[in-house]
């Protein structure tokens, strides 16, 4: 029973996904009389969205429950290790992933019917992909890692291409699919090499083998380890969309339905960061690889600086708000990478990254949700001009949008402020002054394009004669925004509780 309890967050979402799939297949189509449809789930987006959100909230609640019960006190959990490692780190991330997935599901409940994308597959696919993401955050073995990565990605590939008639969606889906499978292949090559060099598929065994390099009697080749480290880093840098592996991001987000882009930006990225932290700290945690002079920290530092700087500079020049948010997600990957680099010296940095990703998840999902509210059927809000005057026409949406943008820019009293604070503080504690200062400078640059949105929301009027974007109203999107806003304010004003939970999530490097 204890084993089932420990695995309950995963089981709840997994079984829930299968049930939702059946519900979708056996449901009665809800279409206007006279409309022929072969799709049993047609017109049922609302119910399915509610079901998906409830299942994911159950998953999040169960993650907290297992966290409170303490995975250490459940010895049966070692039966599934190292394939699934259920520790506080995993549970914190599975909470974040469930929250991100639930917000995306609620946004889809409003967005898909409004924009006439009657594809009820969205919700089972979203849940199945979330199961993959949760398994990814728990993966302590190379096999689980790869299978979970593919489970997560396969769902996302189809979510992007959901708008079937649109060439842009097809381009986005194909681009993400081709580049994604290429990156997965590179990573798989690295994993195979890692297994070949060490003879282990579990990360702990790999870590021990790497530590034995140089000691008498060790047959592990340092060269192979370094090559596999590079290949694995490339694969994961693609998934977190760090510069220079980011080119797919703006196109994929722009072509995807906004809730799918939300899911990619929050859940896929968080899960990839979870697995990145675990692989680096458990598999490559040896002090010769996890040091400032050699190994992965300098490589990741370069990725972090490039991601922050390039993304912030390019984001300021975007005319599409969706593309701006895509570049913003790349910049945030850069800030989080600063925390990953700091994790080589302090276990606290791991909790800082975990907290940061939760803050980022709720802020980004909220910003995408507010953007959804600014448009309506046939006229999705895309450019800055579309947002002009929304402050008067839909004050609630504009207010929510501003709150989430404040959080993304890292202004107090929001979640984003504390996320950045903790990440940069652990960087300074670890002696990474340059990285911390570059991060701060970049946050200031980033504030420019977030505030630009607010200038359009409140201070601009639509150009005379230009078509006014009609704002939409939806209970689902409103619920998601209220939930995200509560999280943003709660994490911003009373971060102590969540931070305590995050600090339990620390992984130790060596």
Partner 1 sequence: MQSWIPVLVYLAIASSVGVVMLGAARVLRVRARHVPPTRAATYECGEEPAGKAWIRFHPRYYLVALVFVLFDVETVFLAPWALATRALGGYAVVEMVVFVAVLLLGWVYAWRKGALRWQ
Q: Give least dist CB 26 to partner 1, A.
A: 6
Residue 38 or 215 with smaller CB distance to partner 1: 38
What are 362's two structure tokens?
A: 């709720």
Q: Give least dist CB 7 to partner 1, A.
A: 13
Residue 25 or 455 with smaller CB distance to partner 1: 25
Q: Residue 138 and residue 67: Cα distance in Å, rounded?
A: 14
Length of the chain: 510
Return the residue matching tokens 């990605």.
153
> With the C-alpha atoms ordered 77, 79, 81, 83, is the resulting torsion angle positive or negative?
negative
Q: Give least dist CB 79 to partner 1, A.
A: 11
- DSSP symbols for 188-253: HHHHHHHHHHHS--BHHHHHHHHHTTTSTT----HHHHHHHHHHHHHHHHHHTT-TTS-THHHHHH
Q: Give least dist CB 16 to partner 1, A.
A: 13
Return the residue matching tokens 């590939």.
157
318 and 448 in contact (C-beta within 8 Å)? Answer: no
Q: What is the helix (H) or strand (E) element at residue 363, kind and residue range?
A: helix 348-373
Q: Give least dist CB 415 to partner 1, A.
A: 37
Q: Residue 344 and residue 213: Cα distance in Å, rounded?
A: 19
Q: Give least dist CB 39 to partner 1, A.
A: 7
Residue 25 or 441 with smaller CB distance to partner 1: 25
Residue 6 or 41 with smaller CB distance to partner 1: 41
Residue 17 or 367 with smaller CB distance to partner 1: 17
Provide the binding-site residues for partner 1, judged by CB under 8 A. Answer: 18, 21-22, 25-26, 38-40
268 and 365 in contact (C-beta within 8 Å)? Answer: no
Q: Give least dist CB 38 to partner 1, A.
A: 5
Maximum alpha-carbon separation in the chain: 79
Q: Give least dist CB 63 to partner 1, A.
A: 22
Q: Give least dist CB 25 to partner 1, A.
A: 4
Q: Give least dist CB 18 to partner 1, A.
A: 6
What are all long-range contacts of 74-77, with beta carbons under 8 Å and residues at least 24 apart? Answer: 74/2, 74/3, 74/5, 74/6, 75/2, 76/2, 76/3, 76/6, 77/2, 77/3, 77/6, 77/7
Q: Give least dist CB 221 to partner 1, A.
A: 15
Residue 23 or 282 with smaller CB distance to partner 1: 23
Q: Give least dist CB 435 to partner 1, A.
A: 45
DSSP 267: I
Q: What are the start-end ranges of the H helices in 27-141?
A: 45-69, 88-114, 122-138
Residue 119 or 322 with smaller CB distance to partner 1: 119
Residue 152 or 438 with smaller CB distance to partner 1: 152
Cross-strand bridge partners of residue 202:
141
Q: Residue 118 and residue 106: Cα distance in Å, rounded?
A: 15
3-state SS record for 88-108? HHHHHHHHHHHHHHHHHHHHH
Q: Residue 427 and residue 431: Cα distance in Å, rounded?
A: 6
Residue 39 or 150 with smaller CB distance to partner 1: 39
Q: What are phi and psi of 61, to 5 degrees?
A: -65, -40
Return the residue matching tokens 């995050």.
502
Residue 173 or 344 with smaller CB distance to partner 1: 173
Residue 153 or 503 with smaller CB distance to partner 1: 153
Residue 39 or 429 with smaller CB distance to partner 1: 39
- Is residue 82 reached through a cis peptide bond, with omega within 30 degrees of 0 on the bond before it? yes
Residue 24 or 141 with smaller CB distance to partner 1: 24
Q: Give least dist CB 55 to partner 1, A.
A: 16
- SS3 at position 379: strand
Which of 331, 346, 381, 157 is CA-nearest to residue 252? 157
Cross-strand bridge partners of residue 376:
379
| Distance from chain centroid for Cα 287 | 29
């Amino acid at each position: 029973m204890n084993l089932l309890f420990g695995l309950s967050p995963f089981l709840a979402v997994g079984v829930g996904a299968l049930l939702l799939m059946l519900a979708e297949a056996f449901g009665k189509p809800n279409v206007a009389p006279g409309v022929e449809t072969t799709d049993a789930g047609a017109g049922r987006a609302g119910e399915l969205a509610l079901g998906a959100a409830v299942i994911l909230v159950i998953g999040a609640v169960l993650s907290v429950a297992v966290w409170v019960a303490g995975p250490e006190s459940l010895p049966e959990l070692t039966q599934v290790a190292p394939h699934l490692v259920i520790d506080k780190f995993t549970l914190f991330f599975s909470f974040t992933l469930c929250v991100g997935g639930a917000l995306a599901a609620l946004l889809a409940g409003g967005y898909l019917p409004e924009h006439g994308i009657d594809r009820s597959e969205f919700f089972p696919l979203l849940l199945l992909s979330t199961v993959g993401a949760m398994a990814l955050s728990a993966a302590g073995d190379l096999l689980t890692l790869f299978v979970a990565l593919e489970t997560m990605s396969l769902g996302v590939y189809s979510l992007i291409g959901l708008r079937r008639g649109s060439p842009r969606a097809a381009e986005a889906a194909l681009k993400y699919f081709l580049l994604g499978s290429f990156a997965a292949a590179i990573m798989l090559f690295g994993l195979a090499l890692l297994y070949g060099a060490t003879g282990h598929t579990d990360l702990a065994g790999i870590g021990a083998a790497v530590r034995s390099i140089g000691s008498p009697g060790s047959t592990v080749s340092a060269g192979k380890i370094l090559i596999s480290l590079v290949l694995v880093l490339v694969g994961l840098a693609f998934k977190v969309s760090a510069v220079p592996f980011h080119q797919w991001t703006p196109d994929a987000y722009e072509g995807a339905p906004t809730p799918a882009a939300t899911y990619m930006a929050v859940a896929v990225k968080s899960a990839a960061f979870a697995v990145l932290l675990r692989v680096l700290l458990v598999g490559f945690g040896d002090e010769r690889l996890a040091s400032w002079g050699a190994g992965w920290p300098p490589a990741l530092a370069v990725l972090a600086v490039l991601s922050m700087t390039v993304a912030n500079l390019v984001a300021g020049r975007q005319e599409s708000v969706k593309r701006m948010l895509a570049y913003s997600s790349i910049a945030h990957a850069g800030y989080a990478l600063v925390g990953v680099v700091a994790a080589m010296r302090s276990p606290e940095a791991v909790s800082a990254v975990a907290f940061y990703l939760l803050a980022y998840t709720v802020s980004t999902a909220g910003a995408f949700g507010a953007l959804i509210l600014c448009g309506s059927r046939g006229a999705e809000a895309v450019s800055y001009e579309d947002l002009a005057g929304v402050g008067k026409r839909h004050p609630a949406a504009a207010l929510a949008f501003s709150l989430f943008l404040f959080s993304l820019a890292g202004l107090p009293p929001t979640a984003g402020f504390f996320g950045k604070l903790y990440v940069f503080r652990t960087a300074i504690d670890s002696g990474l002054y340059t990285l911390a200062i570059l991060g701060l400078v970049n946050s200031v640059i980033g504030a420019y394009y977030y505030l630009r949105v607010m200038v359009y929301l409140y201070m601009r009027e639509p150009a005379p004669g230009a078509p006014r974007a009609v704002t939409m109203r939806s209970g689902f999107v409103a619920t998601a925004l209220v939930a995200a806003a509560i999280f943003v304010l709660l994490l911003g004003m009373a971060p102590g509780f969540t931070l305590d939970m995050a600090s339990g999530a620390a992984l130790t490097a060596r």
